[in-house]
Structure 1
Amino acid sequence: MINCIILEAGWCGHDNCYHNSITQLDTVSLQWRELEPTDATRPVMMRAYGGMISFEHDGVHHLLMIGGLGSKPAVQLPYYKYIELSNGRWRTNEHSMYNLSSRKWNNPSIIGQCIPPLSHFIMEKINNTRAVLFGGVMTDDDAKNTATNNVYIYIRDINQHCVLAVYKKA
């Protein structure tokens, strides 16, 4: 992961058109390479405005994507929430993991309190097993967008299939 920047998904800039692709920029040659094309049938919501961090386990690099705003999910996973907004977009708390070596997706289990459906937040990696998530926009019970200053600490379990979310109200 040295000398590269990885981008996950995003918004096209028109209507409710979102993606779930993964693209890599080689910062030496300034060449783009698509690692995963957008696939509307993939059980990973097409979205933007979420968070992404990278981590390494046993020499293998992974990406963890959390939350965001996007188009109607092709598959709504049972342990995550998806809220349809009045403008036709959807907000989620979905967590998706991508293995950069095998190029396979999975959805980790959450232990503890999962974040609410959230977008437009800051997520920063602390170290290889911890990250902090701050703020963002969520949908309240009246279907209104509400800014938040909540803080979540994420701790990745060594088996890579669990994420512990620790909620801290600011």
Structure 2
Amino acid sequence: MNFELLENAIKKRSLVQCEYAGFKFKIKPLKLAMFDGFWYLLFLDTNKNDTFKKFHLKSITNIRILEEKFKLDAKIEERIKNINSAWATLDKPNTARLLLSPQIKKYFERKPYAKQSITGLDADGSVVIDIEFTNLMEIKPLIYYFIPFIKVLEPKELADTIKDEIEKYLEEIK
């Protein structure tokens, strides 16, 4: 029921009042999205100067659709379309350049990630892809999932973060 209610508010660009974790919110609902098996509502919090936020859908209570309507900037609308993680933000995206071994390239061809593009194919069957991200936690789980068949080529800060975290982990389990 909440899903349909919010879906209609999104389509009609209606403001919504609701509660979450004991707090009251007046929001501009943008999108219902499933991340890692959980439904989320993506929205702008009018009480915080239209700050972009995400709430776990089942945890939202006392939903009330308001008569008041809102307009959405085309730039925000475009960014919302490409969000593929609960960690995503509306910030200007960064690009990760990743080298995929032949063993895993098929997974990225079958189901491309949002804002993924193949930029190179090597003779050994490996492939270079670019993926946009706005938060390190959008891209890090993907990289960890495919280790050792994936390598970060750029940005250097991401490669260093992954290397440091793996080294720390290996040191802790010795």
Q: Going by fraction, where is helix more abundant, 1 or 2?
A: 2
Q: Going by fraction, where is strand more abundant, 1 or 2?
A: 1
In our comparison, the structure showing a higher alpha carbon Rg is 2
TM-score, normalised relative to structure 2: 0.29
TM-score, normalised relative to structure 1: 0.30
